Amino acid sequence: MKRPIPALLALCALLLTGCAKQEDTPPAPSPAPESEITAPPEPVIEPTPSVPEPGVTVYTFDGLEIPVPTEQLELLAVNTDMEAWSAHRTPLISFSERASVEAGQQAHPGEDWGDGLLCTISRLDRIGFEEWAASDEPGTSVFARHGDDAYYLLTRPTDVRLYRGDKEPDSVSLAMWGRLNDWAESLPEAIIARNGLTAYDASDLFDADYTYGGEHVELGYRFPGEPMDLVLLALSQPAKQGEGGVWCVERVRYIYSDYDMTDTHLVFPAALGVDQTAADYYTDLQAACDAGETPDLLTPQGAALRYAKSAAWLFGEDVSASDFEVVEALG
């Protein structure tokens, strides 16, 4: 679902405005409760370790148990020593098909090409979750959470990693590969059941009309004759509603009219390395605006213009607030 140019454009909005895997513009707002700014964070509840049953090998990470059928381990290469992506995203464990790893090491000794990779399980905090949600990262899905500061991410390769060097995999290898992939797909359910996690499907956030509640304004900038002929900026007031509330770009929709296609990307502060949750960031930004800073962010047009100026290579150096038309204003 990655599209480098539109994704970069969405991220640029936050850098200069400080506001910040296809769908039609919705008729009414439907906020995603997980991203509601006013919702208080829930405490992280550490699961209670259970006694491993016979035939199961359990890998434990700060109380989180990941069960693997012991008889299956001879087919797997297990990695529990991966480098953390950031302070907000920690890979816990990855599983690969052992024969593919061994064949890969014979073909390219000492190099990791991801041969045989089946899946990786990672833990995110809230900042890491928001960073992921804005990244449009293929092959990933959040499947569980504990409170509002522990999310669990499944990463699957987007291509087939079964490898036998110069040989084509035989029918036995293909059947075994299918069984291992079925197990990898079922692993999140086993982790949830064993640890008492709350199942979570982030598609509710992506498919929602908007990220935050309250009034929304959509401002459009047209590119006549281009495949992407319209950019819609969905703006809202995440911290304070009504007069005096800061506006921000919360979603960017790229419209390809000839193809009847809309490509939507979420905007979160963490996507540009801001070390705060959206709730904290917009609360601080609102306080700064209440003190007289960045008054242009108190109108949707002002926030949209800041966005456009941060991407002058697309909108042009002479872009002005009048170039944006109100496409939809909803309450």
Rounded Cα distance, 197 and 92, in Å:
16
Rounded Cα distance, 30 and 23, in Å:
14
Domain shared by 281 and 231, yes or no: yes
Q: What is the pLDDT of residues 311-328, one digit of tens each?
A: 687 778 888 888 899 885
pTM of model > 0.85? no
Q: What is the pLDDT of residues 154-188, one digit of tens each?
A: 999 999 999 999 899 999 999 999 999 999 999 99
Q: Which residue in this structure is represented by tokens 């979603």?
A: 251
Domain around 8:
4-31+208-330
Domain shared by 194 and 288, yes or no: no
Last residue of a domain, one of 176, 204, 232: 204
Domain shared by 198 and 212, yes or no: no
Rounded Cα distance, 327 and 124, in Å:
36
Domain shared by 141 and 274, yes or no: no
Asked whether residue 49 is domain-assigned, the answer is no
Q: What is the pLDDT of residues 125-143, one digit of tens each?
A: 999 999 999 988 999 999 9
Give φ, ψ of 118 to 5 degrees. Answer: -105, -50
Asked whether residue 172 is domain-assigned, the answer is yes
Asked whether residue 51 is domain-assigned, the answer is no
Largest CA distance in the chain: 70
Last residue of a domain, one of 135, 169, 204: 204
Domain shared by 80 and 186, yes or no: yes
Domain shared by 255 and 139, yes or no: no
Average pLDDT for consecutive 10-residue bins of the chain (331 residues)?
39 39 38 42 44 82 93 95 90 97 95 96 96 93 92 96 94 97 97 96 91 94 92 94 93 92 91 88 94 93 82 81 77 39
Last residue of a domain, one of 180, 204, 228: 204
Domain shared by 196 and 281, yes or no: no
Domain shared by 250 and 277, yes or no: yes
Domain shared by 67 and 191, yes or no: yes
Domain shared by 26 and 71, yes or no: no
Asked whether residue 38 is domain-assigned, the answer is no
Asked whether residue 39 is domain-assigned, the answer is no
Domain shared by 60 and 193, yes or no: yes
